[in-house]
Amino acid sequence: MTSAQITPLQTVQCPPSQRREALLKLAAAHDPAQQSALSAAVKAMYNQPDTQWEGLWVTLEAGQVTAAIWVQRLPMNMAQLWLPKTGLPQKAADPAPLLLDTARQWVKTQNIRLCHLELSSEAAETQGLLLKNGMQQLVCLEYLNASNHRRLAMNGAMPLSLQPFGELSQAEQLSLLAEVGEGSLDSRPLRDILSIKELLAGFYQQAPQAPQHWYSVSFQNVVVGVLLLAPRPALGRWELMLMGLTPSWRGIGLGRSLLNTAMELAQQAGAAEIVLGVDDVNLPAKRLYQQAGFVCYAQQRLLAWKGGGERSEEPK
């Protein structure tokens, strides 16, 4: 086929009549590890009006969908990007660069603070394409898991008490998370971009049962930290979403006691293991998790476009 005979690709917002076809194309582009998350995202949109699907873009060739990309809107003007299949040398034209450019330009025009995705460490080609299309790498996360039966040795008793996080007012929740985040080595670039209010909204988005299993943590009648857990029943495990102490209570062994508490709660609920993500630059936290028997089973890079939305600040 000569270049004159090649039908040019056309990029459009997906027509409702072709949405199912586009989503099937999108699902075919993702590895098995992402299929369940994509499926859950699509199911959550079943009853949404057509206007909520404006972030779904497709390439058309002779009226047929050839590839799709989806900017899935999230609370607090966040968004997640679901990628098309990249690198198709047998095709006359790879639709991925065109779709990425279209999605990027659309994000810029919307009130979207951050459009992100997680990418495995093996996807070097895809990462290169994303960087060429203006994405920034924010964080490299290591995902760890461990049996809930193991406990860290303690030099002395450090009994902690837990109070339901949901009993705090929103202002109190935000204030506690801000204090816990002070000086933290986890996700610093992300914390520089997002407000505490936006970070908290992200935690709620990731945990359908929240704030159940979320706690403020006290020691000697003083609030010293936070513990956010999320059951993942389909996987038979619990996730440790966030475990942190305020600066003045770090370095005295409370972190060990708090991790033991998290593992005890997960074990009591019948979960076989607990999983977590940790920034690969957070060496003190990684050492603590390794001592508790955690091992790395995956590594993901968080990449993102910064959109045109304004930072949602905490209430004064």
pLDDT score recorded for residue 28: 84
The answer to pTM > 0.95 is no
- Model confidence band, residue 1 (pLDDT cutoffs 50, 70, 90): very low
Q: Which CATH number fits domain 144-306: 3.30.70.890, 3.40.630.30, 3.40.1110.10, 3.30.590.10?
A: 3.40.630.30
Task: Read off the pLDDT of residues 242-295 as tens digits, 9 standing for 90 and up.
Answer: 999 999 999 999 999 999 999 999 999 999 999 999 999 999 999 999 999 999
| Owner of token pair 């760890």 | 144
Domain boundaries, given as residue ranges, for the chain: 3-112, 144-306
Which tens digits make up the pLDDT trace of 94-116?
Answer: 899 999 999 999 999 998 989 99
Residue 156 pLDDT: 78
Q: What is the mean pLDDT of residues 307-316?
A: 57
Least confident of 84-88, 89-93, 137-141, 189-193: 89-93
Quickly state the pLDDT bin for 4 (edges 50, 70, 90).
very low
Statement: residue 216 has pLDDT above 50: yes
pLDDT of residue 316: 40
What is the C-alpha to C-alpha distance for residues 187 and 301, in angstroms, rounded to an integer? 11
- Beta strands 136-147; 114-120: pairing state: unpaired
* pLDDT over 90 at 215, yes or no: yes
- Long-range pairs, 229-234, Cβ under 8 A, ≥24: 229/262, 229/265, 229/266, 230/206, 231/269, 231/271, 232/275, 234/36
Q: What are phi and psi of 43, to 5 degrees?
A: -60, -35
- What is the CATH number that goes with domain 3-112? 3.40.630.30
What is the predicted pLDDT for the residue at 3? 43
pLDDT of residue 88: 47
Write the DSSP string, the chain: --GGGSPPPEEEEPPGGGHHHHHHHHHHTS-HHHHHHHHHHHHTTTT--GGGGTTEEEEEETTEEEEEEEEEEEGGGEEEEEPPP---TTSSS-HHHHHHHHHHHHHHHTT-SEEEEEEETT-HHHHHHHHHTT-EEEEEEEEEEEETT-----SS----EEEEGGGS-HHHHHHHHHHHHTT--TTHHHHHHS-HHHHHHHHHHH-TTTTTTEEEEEETTEEEEEEEEEEEGGGTEEEEEEEEE-GGGTTSSHHHHHHHHHHHHHHHTT-SEEEEEEETT-HHHHHHHHHTT-EEEEEEEEEEEE-SPPP-PPP-
**Interval 128-163: pLDDT, tens:** 999 999 999 999 999 999 998 889 988 877 899 999
Assign 2 a pLDDT band (cuts: 50, 70, 90).
Answer: very low
Q: What is the pLDDT of residues 26-74, one digit of tens each?
A: 988 766 667 778 888 899 898 899 999 999 999 998 889 999 999 999 8
Model pLDDT, residue 307: 76
Rounded distance between C-alpha atoms, residue 207 and residue 262, angstroms: 16
Q: Higher model confidence: residue 206 or residue 211?
A: 211
Which of 4-18, 118-132, 226-240 tops mean pLDDT?
Answer: 226-240
pLDDT of residue 214: 98
Is pLDDT above 70 for 89?
no
Residue-level length of the chain: 316
